[in-house]
Structure 1
Amino acid sequence: MGDTESCCNIKAISSEWNQNGKQKQKIEVYLKVLSRLRELNVPEIMAPGFEDDLWAHFYRLPTRYALDMNVERAQYVLMHKRLLHIARTPAASTGPAVEVRLVQVVVIYALTNLGNKYFMQVCSASGVTCKSLHSNSQNKVSPQDSDIQGNMMRPMHEITISTNDKPKLLSQLTSLLSETGLDIQEAHAFSTLDGYSLDVFVVGGWAVEETEKLKHVLANKIQKLELKENGSPPLAKLAEQEKIRMNFISRHVIFPTRENGVSTSEASWLRFEKKIASGPFSDLYKGTLCNQDLAIKVLKQESLDENIHREFSQEVYILSKIQHRNVVKFVGACTKPPNLCLVTEYLSGGSMYDLLHKQKTVLALPSLLKVAIDVSEGMKYLHQNDIIHRDLKSANLLIDKTGVVKVADFGVARVRNRSGIMTAETGTYRWMAPEVIEHKPYDHKADVFSFAIVLWELLTRKLPYEHLSPLQAAVGVVQKGLRPKIPRHCHPKLVELLQWCWQQDPSLRPSFSEILEFLLHISKMVCQAVPDEMMNVI
């Protein structure tokens, strides 16, 4: 689980974060699965933010899923995550989210000395633990009371299906499997917080050498089931619905004007070009208006509730009131529920997170200082306008085509709250100030702490506390004063700035005015010491 000095044990996490036993149990299983995946050295663990994604997976499923998980087969969790992702991405031409695999099943049987009554238990090789299937005796029979007992191995098929959760779904899937000629030996049904299902069946009745054929047959039957319920092919129907919605939004986006506040630009409606990202609560599109490239964030209708609507309105209000070179520019919004969207300038350079962690870009010190100064300029402006960002991190810093870095994603932390990666307040654990983690009152100095973590990220191109889970990192920051290790080659003045900004006591941290002045001083020193040809920007 990483460095033993910095790792926090399960008991500390549970006592700090959870008052109920169910959440504690879920966290314990999550940590065990994460540890097992590291032991297995699966490639997925190297992906940025993997621990966050894994915890979000456990969070959206019931505690029963964690308790039924066979930790020794932790890699099955990755298959479950993949199927849920397919189910949540209906626009992709991936077909039904179904997986079929051959498993070895241990059948344990016993014949009692009290008569011809028996019990049988099936232990599958699936990612969930074995369950007692049936017993026609009133009391469970122990092996000690049996005349005959034993076990045998039997090959069976494990079927895992993910789809939209709906009434009578389990009954429909059970009937579908029975109609296929399958004998269901074991079943587990789980519903997610965001309206999807994960159903696992262990079945007999199909030739063991025809696993791929079974998967193909089931995929066709599931697709026909969706066709029967929806009345048209699922992908085609959703594509048509999406097109209708985009046309509506295009006509109802309100654009601020200098003359009279707002106007609808009916002569040149907003055009959607392509979807460039998708999350649990919104989709991000690239679009155009009067030949200007724009980014359009559209909230998903199925995710809307009163809180998200209120938070969206607050985000639109904040962005519409601010304008600065180092803050993403607000263009317009559609505020007619359920068709809510936010339109901003499109920044072709992507995010600092991608630049550092995916493209593995090494920033020379002058370039690094330029980024830090851009961020500080934007944050100074926000704080002067009484705006606390509350989720400052590299993923929320975007780069335009000229290399200017801009602060973006206001309010996104509140929208992502239900994923379980955010606290009841807001923010992301790896960048979060200790006072926010502890649910204490906080002010703009929380952003200063997050800025220090971003600055460290720029220096190292590493994920903060990469060997710890998000929960472990958070508890370490609060209880042990844990901070990322500063590299030896770091400029002494930057070491000084890091230690100043991530002070445990918020009152001891500098303001962004002080940070900016400090950075400009360092930049001046560096410019005098570095030749012109080394002064590269992003």
Structure 2
Amino acid sequence: MYVGIVENNAFAVLATHTLIIKCCVIDQPGAIVAGLCLIVCNALQDQCFPNQLSVSLVGDQNKTGVKSLLDNVQIPSDGTDVWEIDTSQLKVENKVASGSYGDLYRGTYCSQEVAIKVLKPERVSAEMLREFSQEVYIMRKVRHKNVVQLIGACTQSPNLCIVTEFMAKGSLYNFLHKQKGVFKLPSLIKVAIDVSKGMNYLHQNNIIHRDLKTANLLMDENEVVKVADFGVARVQTQSGVMTAETGTYRWMAPEGMEWFLLSYRNGAAPFTFTYVVFNYMKVIEHKPYDYKADVFSFGIVMWELLTGELPYSYLTPLQAAVGVVQKGLRPTIPKHTYPKLAELLERCWQRDPTQRPNFSQIIDILQQIATE
């Protein structure tokens, strides 16, 4: 989702797992914004689902506006899925993570151990609500042993929260970089297979993750690794924010970064009108190789598992993006890496997305390595 602000007028471009783009014009739109939204809606009218998630957007983020936002979280239903939880059955226990936009708690729901992601009402914006809605919208139908399971959500003001299964051993990012954990080759291959199976399932169901990284890969008490965070409305960082520790651009495929750099070179700060137009054009293009962007990110994740290091740790996220796009920069594969694993890494981060394997092929390769 890209949100553009021109004076006091806002519009949003939303791309879900299929080519769905929805524009919303707020208040008294200027001619450019109104015209752009009209063109997009008309051009894509036949491609839009009748029921798609929507969040009411307001131009002025004052207290009244926030209340209006909180009262208008809408998530489509086909009549067969129910995700609204009974808050009387939800017991919140200790806080396990905290951020500017929300907190993550451990708790129980109907006696089941769960993780509870709670958005802070005072920090809620239209974009955060859109991401919240998207996460529930996508997760509600996902059923796979290598994808974090949604238990339910509270979409009623003021207690917006998402409840998922509790992953006792936390993220692979924390294991590698905070606990200084190490994966020996058999364990590394097992983790990589878990991730590949989860991603293969998502791709088979037309879901592109777009933010695959170790911070979004969680491990349960049995050391099964699962893919998480579909809404990009995560606790620690807001969508698109490049931080030194968890900057998304360290894991992103070059075709995803080049539009960011193009808009940046043209003087567009993230989420301004110019930035939105550049990225909007990328969404419209929506080539089939978009799925392969996740494969590139997976290659970076595997390198991280192999080395225990942060990708491009000697560079800022922006410098890493420039290096990957303009100079073909890739992490250095250790000399003594198992040859077939090194070959797989290089295939995953090919510049040409069509030259990257899909996750079904990756699973076959990893399973073959595991038996050797």
TM-score grouping bracket, smaller chain normalisation: 0.5 to 0.7
Q: What is the rounded CA distance, in whole Å, between the counterparts of 1:328 and 1:362 in structure 2?
A: 23
Q: Does 1:488 align with 2:310?
A: no
CA RMSD of aligned residues (A): 2.5
Counterpart in the other structure of 1:108: none
Q: What is the rounded CA distance, in whole Å, between the counterparts of 2:84 and 2:191 in structure 1?
A: 36
> Structure 2 vs 1, CA of residues 378 and 317 (structure 1 numbering), >3 Å: closer, same or farther?
same
Q: Does 1:271 align with 2:91?
A: yes
Taking the TM superposition and a 5 Å limit, the aligned residue runs for 1:143-182 are: none
2:128–2:233 Cα contact (<8 Å) kept: no
| Deviation at residue 311 of structure 1 after TM alignment | 2.0
**Secondary structure, aligned partner of 2:209:** coil
Q: What is the rounded CA distance, in whole Å, between the counterparts of 2:220 and 2:253 in structure 1?
A: 28
Counterpart in the other structure of 1:123: none
Q: Which has the larger radius of gyration?
A: 1
Taking the TM superposition and a 5 Å limit, the aligned residue runs for 1:274-353 are: 274-353=94-173
| Deviation at residue 262 of structure 1 after TM alignment | 2.7
Equivalent residue letter for 2:300: I
**Secondary structure, aligned partner of 1:371:** helix
| Deviation at residue 283 of structure 1 after TM alignment | 0.8
> Structure 2 vs 1, CA of residues 460 and 418 (structure 1 numbering), >3 Å: closer, same or farther?
closer
> Structure 2 vs 1, CA of residues 339 and 477 (structure 1 numbering), >3 Å: closer, same or farther?
same
2:347–2:357 Cα contact (<8 Å) kept: yes
Equivalent residue letter for 1:417: S
**Alignment counterpart, residue 419 of structure 1, candidates 241, 244, 248:** 241
> Structure 2 vs 1, CA of residues 413 and 434 (structure 1 numbering), >3 Å: closer, same or farther?
farther
**Alignment counterpart, residue 472 of structure 1, candidates 298, 319, 324:** 319
Residue-by-residue CA offset, 1:318-368 (whole Å, 9 max, x unaligned): 000111000001000011234311000001011111111122222111110
Q: What is the rounded CA distance, in whole Å, between the counterparts of 1:355 and 1:298 in structure 2?
A: 23
> Structure 2 vs 1, CA of residues 504 and 398 (structure 1 numbering), >3 Å: closer, same or farther?
same
1:268–1:290 Cα contact (<8 Å) kept: no
Q: What is the rounded CA distance, in whole Å, between the counterparts of 1:470 and 1:264 in structure 2?
A: 38
Counterpart in the other structure of 1:521: 368
Residue-by-residue CA offset, 1:217-252 (whole Å, 9 max, x unaligned): xxxxxxxxxxxxxxxxxxxxxxxxxxxxxxxxxxxx
**Secondary structure, aligned partner of 2:305:** helix
Equivalent residue letter for 2:115: A
Name the structure, 1 or 2, with higher relative contact order (CA <8 Å, separation 6+): 2
2:132–2:233 Cα contact (<8 Å) kept: no
**Alignment counterpart, residue 179 of structure 2, candidates 359, 362, 374:** 359
Q: What is the rounded CA distance, in whole Å, between the counterparts of 2:159 and 2:354 in structure 1?
A: 42
Equivalent residue letter for 1:513: S
1:287–1:295 Cα contact (<8 Å) kept: yes
Counterpart in the other structure of 2:300: 453
Q: What is the rounded CA distance, in whole Å, between the counterparts of 1:481 and 1:295 in structure 2?
A: 39
| Deviation at residue 419 of structure 1 after TM alignment | 3.1
List runs of 5+ in structure 2 lacking aligned partners. 1-60, 63-74, 260-281
Equivalent residue letter for 2:123: S
Deviation >4 Å, runs of 4+: 263-268
| Deviation at residue 413 of structure 1 after TM alignment | 6.3
| Deviation at residue 307 of structure 1 after TM alignment | 2.4
Equivalent residue letter for 2:97: A
More strand by share: 1
Counterpart in the other structure of 2:351: 504
Q: What is the rounded CA distance, in whole Å, between the counterparts of 2:87 and 2:216 in structure 1?
A: 33
| Deviation at residue 434 of structure 1 after TM alignment | 0.5
Q: Does 1:387 align with 2:207?
A: yes
Q: What is the rounded CA distance, in whole Å, between the counterparts of 2:253 and 2:321 in structure 1?
A: 9
The alignment covers a number of residue pairs equal to 267
Counterpart in the other structure of 2:219: 399
1:271–1:289 Cα contact (<8 Å) kept: yes
1:304–1:338 Cα contact (<8 Å) kept: no
Identical columns (%)? 61
| Deviation at residue 268 of structure 1 after TM alignment | 5.7
Q: Does 1:409 align with 2:215?
A: no
2:113–2:165 Cα contact (<8 Å) kept: yes
Q: What is the rounded CA distance, in whole Å, between the counterparts of 1:336 and 1:465 in structure 2?
A: 42
2:193–2:367 Cα contact (<8 Å) kept: yes
Q: What is the rounded CA distance, in whole Å, between the counterparts of 1:310 and 1:264 in structure 2?
A: 17
Equivalent residue letter for 1:283: D
**Secondary structure, aligned partner of 2:331:** coil
Equivalent residue letter for 2:140: S
Q: What is the rounded CA distance, in whole Å, between the counterparts of 2:172 and 2:196 in structure 1?
A: 15
> Structure 2 vs 1, CA of residues 391 and 266 (structure 1 numbering), >3 Å: closer, same or farther?
closer
| Deviation at residue 387 of structure 1 after TM alignment | 0.5
TM-score by length of 2: 0.67
Counterpart in the other structure of 2:194: 374
Residue-by-residue CA offset, 1:432-462 (whole Å, 9 max, x unaligned): 1001101245611110000000000011000
**Secondary structure, aligned partner of 2:115:** strand
| Deviation at residue 260 of structure 1 after TM alignment | 6.0
Counterpart in the other structure of 1:444: 291
